[in-house]
Amino acid sequence: MANLQQALVASIPKDAVFRRGNGRNPDELRTVKITRHFTKHAEGSVLIEFGETKVLCTASVEAGVPRFLKGKGEGWITAEYGMLPRATHTRNDREASKG
C-alpha cells in the first residue's frame, strides 16, 4: 500500500494546484456559522453549521440527582447523541431503533 501511495504522489506534477470539489483550497476551512438559542424549550441550545454539515446541541437541566447519589453532595451529568435517518449519503438505522 505504501508503494502505491508513493507512486501516486510521485506522479503528481510539482506545480499542481489542488482544489476541493466545492472550490476550497486544501488548507481552507469551511464557513462556520453558530446560532445560539436555536430551540425554544431547552435551557441551552446551539446550531453549528460547517458548510453543509449541521450539528444541533441542546442542554437540559433537572433539579435533583438519581437516588443512589442522594445525600452524597455529588452531581450527575449524562450525554447522548443521535443521527437522523439519511443524515449521510447511505441509509443508516437510528440508534434508538436498535433494542
The answer to which of 3-7, 71-75, 87-91 has the lowest mean pLDDT is: 87-91
Distance CA 45, CA 10 (A): 48
Q: Please name the residue that has the C-alpha cell 437522523.
A: 84
pTM: 0.60
What pLDDT score was predicted for residue 57?
93
pLDDT band at 68; cut points 50, 70, 90: very high
Parse the chain into domains and list their residue ranges: 28-74
Residue 92 has a pLDDT of 62
Half-sphere exposure of 19 (CA within 13 A, CB side): 4
- The mean pLDDT of 44-59, rounded to a whole number, is 92
